Amino acid sequence: MASNEVWMVDYGAGNVRSLINAVSKLGWKVRVASSPDDIRNAQKLLFPGVGAFGSAMEAINSRGYAQPIKDYINSGRPFMGICIGIQSLCEGSEEAPGVSGLGVIPATVQRFSNADKAVPQIGWNCADEVSLADVSKERTLLERTQLLNHNGKGETFYYFVHSYMIPLTERTKEWVLSTTTYGGETFVSAVRKGNVFATQFHPEKSGFAGLRVLKSFLTSDIVDPVPSLTNGNGQVPPAVAPPTTLQLAPKDHLTKRVIACLDVRANDAGDLVVTKGDQYDVREKPGDGADGKGEVRNLGKPVDLARRYFEEGADEVTFLNITSFRNVPLADVPMLEVLRRTSESVFVPLTIGGGIRDVTDPSGAVHSALEVAGEYFRSGADKVSIGSDAVFASEALISRGGKLDGTTSIEQISWAYGAQAVVISVDPRRVYVASPEAALGHAVIETAFPGPNGERFCWYQCTVKGGREGRDLDVVQLTTSCEKMGAGEILLNCMDKDGTNSGYDLELIRQVKSAVRIPVIASSGAGHPQHFAVVFEETGVEAALAAGIFHRREVPIEDVKKHLKAKGHIVRPVDS
């Protein structure tokens, strides 16, 4: 094997393209291990994973990979697991009772409690120092320096996305390299023992900090026994932090996320462009466009803009393919190509929305939403966002009296790729009513912004097909139904606020935030850095998204983060 080659176990677990891209960026070649012999013969092995414990173990077992992975680990060659890759090393998981893991780490994976926080944990958090009495501080400091590239100077943020975690117990002690705290729970976020290194976070999605972690693994030969504390000259390597910097009190460092959103569609000339609407109308005033309509607004090229936002410090990038309800996404090669090319140079999470539903292609072949989503994941997406189909699925669920039947796109994608990979994009608009009764059973609020006829109440109606069709479903019905079906996050747009720069619709966001226990992304209306601080402080959302102000360079992402930091919020530095 060439010295700069690494093997990666591919068992169909979500977005492995990002890991391949990150390793390639570091000048290494990834060879995909697609047979038990490939695994046995590898010299350095990456074991990635996105998704759910049960489906991951099923895929590993059905391919006959379990024993070869254990044999590989026992051989002492370097091994790195990521996310479900670390969890699969455990004995089992609450996520899939009765399903055995690989049994390398003596632990059972547990679900986070959602009593004090949203679950899944989605976002950037720190890998803290371990303060267990009988773990050698010097040992962990050295390993952290070598593998996590921590130098004791301040916090380094990594991207986490998971509902289940490895608890810190007596049994896991000897494995722990770092812990992370989310809400009131401290869990194992990285392990190292002998030749095994594994992280709960995604280095391939953690910006430059994550690339450094991957580089450490690729370039160091981790083997048992633990390396000596001194270098060749008998001196302790200088980057090792003195023990006084140890973090002894666990602290939740989860950042507030700032997301850049790119609405993408073909313009009248057929080119894929980033566009931006005012209350969902993306065309300029009537004039020279097709059929006498105004031109589709063109704010730039999708891949270039996404790269710019990554470099400017966006914590995530979201693409919404806004006209895909008309098209067949599997035939939408340009959009898949946009994802592939973006994931080559953007090392933060990518979400893609638009057209995730069962489709019939031009040849008459039917493809399930799960297949459509799978194609997006293989092209570089970390999460898919479902709009119209989530509305129809919720209506069907309600008409069945709330009984799950496993057939919806949300349930199927969530089972296969994990809840954290399923975002629900909500396109609501206000319906004003004179009294709560006039809302006919919909979740109504008393609003501080009365309607055109002085109405003091409103409810938020869900729409489909990019806001073109209103349905008899409110946002509380939609979001709670989707949470029940297994969605992991809500992207909450607002048609009334979209493109107005007047601030987020706090009333809408509060209503949804208090109805669900999964993370909520506020969207639509951002015009100033202050709007971000206000939406975080007044609604408790986990993330805030904006489009127009970033595209038009009115507000740099850096200014948003500076303002949030000044207001006491934890944010990921833009250059990390």
Q: What is the CA radius of gyration of the chain?
A: 24
Minimum separation from the CB atom of position 55 to ligand 1PR (A): 23
Any idea of the CA torsion for 288, 293, 294, 296, to the nearest 10 degrees? -110
Could you tell me where the beta strands, DSSP code E, fall in 131-225? 157-162, 164-167, 176-182, 185-193, 196-199
- Examine the residue annotation and report whether 505 is marked as an active-site residue of this protein: no
Minimum separation from the CB atom of position 418 to ligand 1PR (A): 19
Closer to ligand 1PR by CB, 114 or 279: give it: 279
Closer to ligand 1PR by CB, 480 or 523: give it: 523
Question: What is the rounded CA–CA span in Å between residue 342 and residue 191?
Answer: 31
- Vertex 409 angle, CA 254 and 314, to 5°: 30
Binding residue (CB under 6 A) for ligand 1PR from 179, 195, 324, 343? 324
- Examine the residue annotation and report whether 304 is marked as an active-site residue of this protein: no
Query: Which one of 92-100, 472-480, 529-537, 540-548 is the stretch in contact with ligand 1PR (CB under 6 A)?
Result: 540-548
Using the rule CB under 6 A, is 392 a contact of ligand 1PR? no
Only one residue has tokens 């979400």, namely 351
- Examine the residue annotation and report whether 204 is marked as an active-site residue of this protein: yes
Which residues inside 74-133 make contact with ligand 1PR, applying CB under 6 A? none
Supply the DSSP symbol for 252: B
Q: Which of 173, 193, 200, 166 is nearest to 81 (CA)?
A: 200
**Distance (Å) of CA 554 to CA 74, 281, 493:** 55, 20, 20
Binding residue (CB under 6 A) for ligand 1PR from 162, 215, 257, 276? 276
Using the rule CB under 6 A, is 526 a contact of ligand 1PR? yes
Count the neighbouring beta carbons within 10 Å of the beta carbon of residue 373.
26
Binding-residue pattern over the window 344 to 383 for ligand 1PR, x denoting contact by CB under 6 A: ---------xxxx---------------------------
Residue 342: which H helix or E strand, with range?
helix 333-345
- Examine the residue annotation and report whether 268 is marked as an active-site residue of this protein: no
Minimum separation from the CB atom of position 552 to ligand 1PR (A): 9
User: Taking a C-beta distance cutoff of 8 angstroms, is the pair 179, 173 a contact?
Assistant: no
Q: Which residues pair with 202 in a beta bridge?
A: 159
Binding residue (CB under 6 A) for ligand 1PR from 493, 508, 519, 541? 493
For ligand 1PR, the nearest residue by Cβ is 466
Only one residue has tokens 């996310």, namely 83
Q: How many alpha carbons lie under 13 Å from residue 392 in its C-beta half-sphere?
A: 13
Q: Is 355 marked as a binding-site residue?
A: yes
Using the rule CB under 6 A, is 394 a contact of ligand 1PR? no
Binding residue (CB under 6 A) for ligand 1PR from 127, 305, 320, 512? 320
Q: Is 90 marked as a binding-site residue?
A: no
Q: Which residues contribute to the site for ligand 1PR (CB under 6 A)?
A: 261, 263, 276-277, 280, 282, 320, 322, 324-325, 353-356, 385-389, 425, 427, 466-467, 493, 498-499, 523-526, 546-548
